[in-house]
Structure 1
Amino acid sequence: MTTAPQETVRRLRAGVIGLGWAGQQHVAAYAADPTVDLVALSAMEDHLLARFGDAHDVPGRFQDWQQMLAEAELDVVSIATPTFLHATMAAAALEAGLHVITEKPMAQNAEAASGMVEAARSAGRVLDVSFNHRQRGDVTALKDVVDSGVLGTLYYAKTGWIRRQGIPGLGTWFTKAESSGGGAMMDIGIHMLDMTLHLMGEPAVTAASASTHAEFGPLGRGGSGFGVSQVEEGTPFEVEDLATAFLRLDGGGTMLLESSWAQWIPEDLCYVTLYGADGGATIEWGGSPGNHKITVWTEVAGIPAELQPVVGEDGRHAAAVANFLQKVRSGDWAAHDGSLALRRAEVIDACYASARAGAEVRVGG
């Protein structure tokens, strides 16, 4: 008796542009995948090229990312550079025939993000964005609960990420309006927006009413060593350090979204609370590592019940990269053109427009 030969998965040649913290996670994900050859890295910093090139035996090391795209013969590339560079780099990589995953946020505004989607469609290649927090074990567990129908129809959500002290680099690209596109809402609020819409089954956001504040950054308070690069000359803080938004959802649902880089609270706090017709649920984490809580409230046979779903391991960046590679290997590239991430960018744009106008703004209007 003979068995059919197993189909061989074609190895993909991968490269990474940008070797800050996020780029290092992509490097580790590719290096750990037995079906991928990590063949090229690009960064301005010689010491990072040497460190990660030597650690993973990467043959191609380039300070010029365009040279890497031209010479490394890649199939896929990760872009983990400052936000304002994403659109230009992604378009060039897509036009070169590569599949692309960028770090979040997708781009500094929806206009730039739209250009990336157009480039993906024109090239017929995958464009993905790494929303790594939706790969958390508690988020995955809660998604299973929602999909099971236990909560019934979801009609309201509250979500937020508030840091005690976490402005990522006063005076760097993070806090410059043109290079970052925004402050706390753009940087960490978009994680909570993505996570919550994902949990709710992707309802369209139709309108936003938002407000922004900058009370810490302009005074030099709330700074964090995380994400710091060389401090640039000029205005050190041009964005918000706190933003709140009330979002209207297609079908009549609503969401409250808040994000802050620095605030007078005891410890960092992240949360998502879902309200359904048949039950409610929350995930919350902050403070000490591993301090994660997930709880579901419903009723069983007419008796109020509190459920504790089983939570698996966090996937984070490794899972985001694995999902990207799965999309590439699926061959259904047209279905993965970055449109979902573009919708996130349109919501963030509407929030900032609402804050400037002091009035509700239609999303995409």
Structure 2
Amino acid sequence: MARRILRIGLVGVGAAAQINHIPTLKKLEDVELVWLVDRDPEKAARVAQKFQVPQSSGRLDDLLSDDSVDVVDLCTPNFLHAPMATASLEAGKHVLCERPLARSAAEATAMAKAAKKADRMLVCAVQHRYRADSQLLRKFVDKGDLGEVFFAKAGWLRQQTDWDSDEWRRTKRESGGGVVLDLGFQMLDLALWVLGQPKVESVTASVHRQSKGEVEDSATAFLRLETGATLTLELTWGLLMEKDFAYLNVFGSGGAALLNPFRVHKGMHGTLVNVTPTLDTSRNQYKQSLEAHIVHVMDGLRKGHKPAGHADEILPVMELMDAIYRSAEQGREVKLG
């Protein structure tokens, strides 16, 4: 039996949409991209023509009034996630939202309530979980191959570039925050997922802002987990070195694993053994992982299953974002319920 084709409307035709989301949606079988919406209607029309999407508009309401649309894919700035997701859910559409899900835990909670009331799915893009190396690392941890994990460290130290010069990213009201919400959300979600999503008992954090900056450009955090393990997080938009650093390292009583580049070593018979599996590195990891996640989301929507990154799963991560900011502002450890 042929699977039902899901009709998609995408909102926000900036770089994330044109480089990643639109090519992925156009490539997939059983998915039809039928609407593009952007606050600049001429841009929406140009991009629609480029990618052969039949309909475009400068108004979200035009998309939402189309009863044939099943899913709205939001690739908009952070401050538009909550109102646009809520409107889409109330119109009977499922929502896939770029990260972070919202500007705060309170905003994310309201969005989740709207999804529950509408009996529709609200999903956040968590494509890093679908990298081939991330999937393997999770399996090593799940199977206990590393022994008891007692420490993990995650970070994303990115070169200072003009990429972050978008005005909304530097405006607290529109972004909700800086590097913590941008890079920190992704790395913290990935780290906790790899570790089996343990609860976090407390957070101690510090952030750095440039003299005239509304949002932080660097941050560090120390998290105590219910398992007794600890997790550290390092983030910056302002690295003055020749290349970026993005990593997730997991250390256990029986071995250690490093992500990017992927390495796994285990203690076996009194000897340290490299047990790193061979990975196909010919494909772009980011595009491959986004495609895999979207396939998973669409399959979940068809079957009525909650996909990875569904709102209930993301709310604890948003609460951690709030806790990091609160700890940094108060200069003390913040304990979580």
Q: Decide: shared fold, TM above 0.5.
A: yes
Please give the alpha-carbon distance, in whole angstroms, between the structure 2 residues aligned to 1:336 and 1:138.
18
Per-residue deviation, 1:171: 6.2
Q: More displaced, 71-80 or 309-318?
A: 309-318
Match of 2:116 in 1: 121
Kindly indicate whether residue 299 of structure 2 is the aligned counterpart of residue 299 of structure 1. no
Kindly indicate whether residue 24 of structure 2 is the aligned counterpart of residue 20 of structure 1. no
Which one-letter code corresponds to 1:301 in the other structure?
H
Query: Relative to structure 1, is the Cα distance of residues 268 and 208 closer, same or farther in structure 2, using a 3 angstrom cutoff?
Result: same
Please give the alpha-carbon distance, in whole angstroms, between the structure 1 residues aligned to 2:147 and 2:113.
37
Question: Which of 201, 211, 221 is the equivalent residue of 1:245?
Answer: 221
Query: Relative to structure 1, is the Cα distance of residues 167 and 136 closer, same or farther in structure 2, using a 3 angstrom cutoff?
Result: farther
Kindly indicate whether residue 149 of structure 2 is the aligned counterpart of residue 176 of structure 1. no
Question: Which of 149, 156, 165 is the equivalent residue of 1:161?
Answer: 156
Question: Which of 240, 246, 249 is the equivalent residue of 1:264?
Answer: 240
Conservation of the 8 A alpha-carbon contact between 2:123 and 2:307:
no
Matches within 5 A, 1:30-109: 30-71=25-66, 73-109=68-104
TM-score by length of 2: 0.92
Please give the alpha-carbon distance, in whole angstroms, between the structure 2 residues aligned to 1:168 and 1:186.
16
Matches within 5 A, 1:211-226: 211-215=206-210, 218=212
Per-residue deviation, 1:83: 0.4
Gap runs ≥5 in structure 1: 1-6, 219-236, 285-292
Please give the alpha-carbon distance, in whole angstroms, between the structure 2 residues aligned to 1:272 and 1:15.
34
Which one-letter code corresponds to 2:221 in the other structure?
A
Conservation of the 8 A alpha-carbon contact between 1:126 and 1:336:
no
Conservation of the 8 A alpha-carbon contact between 1:104 and 1:131:
yes
Paired residue total? 331
Question: Which string of whole-angstrom CA distances, capped at 9 and with x for unpartnered residues, describes residues 272-317 of structure 1?
Answer: 1101121111113xxxxxxxx1111212233211222222453232
Conservation of the 8 A alpha-carbon contact between 2:125 and 2:309:
no
Per-residue deviation, 1:246: 0.4
Per-residue deviation, 1:72: 5.7
Three-state SS of the structure 2 residue aligned to 1:158 is: strand
Three-state SS of the structure 1 residue aligned to 2:239 is: coil
Kindly indicate whether residue 250 of structure 2 is the aligned counterpart of residue 274 of structure 1. yes
Question: Which string of whole-angstrom CA distances, capped at 9 and with x for unpartnered residues, describes residues 14-37 of structure 1?
Answer: 110111122222222221112011
Please give the alpha-carbon distance, in whole angstroms, between the structure 2 residues aligned to 1:190 and 1:136.
16
Per-residue deviation, 1:251: 2.0
Question: Which of 2, 26, 29 is the equivalent residue of 1:8?
Answer: 2
Conservation of the 8 A alpha-carbon contact between 1:40 and 1:72:
no
Conservation of the 8 A alpha-carbon contact between 2:123 and 2:308:
no
Match of 1:226 in 2: none
Please give the alpha-carbon distance, in whole angstroms, between the structure 2 residues aligned to 1:48 and 1:241.
30
Please give the alpha-carbon distance, in whole angstroms, between the structure 1 residues aligned to 2:308 and 2:265.
35
Three-state SS of the structure 1 residue aligned to 2:165 is: coil
Identity among equivalent positions (%) equals 36
Which one-letter code corresponds to 1:16 in the other structure?
L
Please give the alpha-carbon distance, in whole angstroms, between the structure 2 residues aligned to 1:335 and 1:130.
9
Conservation of the 8 A alpha-carbon contact between 1:168 and 1:174:
no
Please give the alpha-carbon distance, in whole angstroms, between the structure 1 residues aligned to 2:267 and 2:63.
57
Q: More displaced, 264-273 or 344-353?
A: 264-273
Question: Which string of whole-angstrom CA distances, capped at 9 and with x for unpartnered residues, describes residues 305-349 of structure 1?
Answer: 122222245323222211211210121359975111111111010
Three-state SS of the structure 2 residue aligned to 1:71 is: coil
Please give the alpha-carbon distance, in whole angstroms, between the structure 1 residues aligned to 2:16 and 2:251.
33
Three-state SS of the structure 1 residue aligned to 2:29 is: coil
Which one-letter code corresponds to 1:116 in the other structure?
M
Match of 2:278 in 1: 310
Query: Relative to structure 1, is the Cα distance of residues 334 and 85 closer, same or farther in structure 2, using a 3 angstrom cutoff?
Result: same
Q: More displaced, 266-275 or 317-326?
A: 317-326
Please give the alpha-carbon distance, in whole angstroms, between the structure 1 residues aligned to 2:220 and 2:44.
39
Please give the alpha-carbon distance, in whole angstroms, between the structure 2 residues aligned to 1:69 and 1:77.
9
Please give the alpha-carbon distance, in whole angstroms, between the structure 2 residues aligned to 1:250 and 1:91.
33
Per-residue deviation, 1:87: 0.8
Conservation of the 8 A alpha-carbon contact between 2:45 and 2:57:
no
